Amino acid sequence: MDNLQPDPELLSTLVSMPMPFGKYKGTLLCDLPVSYLEWFHREGFPKGKMGMLLATIYEIKINGLEKLLDPLKKARGKSAGF
């Protein structure tokens, strides 16, 4: 049976990594609008790790699972001095 637990390192990356290119360059992956992620879903996600990250945040958002990221966002905010 597959391990259905989310990968904490992957989730942490989603709340800390900025989009490296395109219209939303500099926006944290977790903050990308669903419409942008839907465009990638239609047109094709990039190859490699970036594509996997974008596909993951797409799935999180369309399935209403963004609350999974809240503890990581709060922890990141505290460590950034907010």
Exposure of 2 by Cβ count < 10 A (0-12 exposed, 13-18 middle, 19+ buried)? exposed
Q: How many domains would you assign to the chain? A: 1
pLDDT at 2: 52
Look at residue 79 and tell me if it is in a domain: no
- Evaluate if residue 80 carries a pLDDT over 60: no
pLDDT at 5: 66
How far apart are alpha carbons 14 and 66 in whole angstroms?
A: 11
Q: Which domain holds residue 52?
A: 9-72
Average pLDDT over residues 54-81: 88
Look at residue 54 and tell me if it is in a domain: yes
pLDDT at 82: 46
pLDDT tens digits along 20-43: 999 999 999 999 999 999 999 999
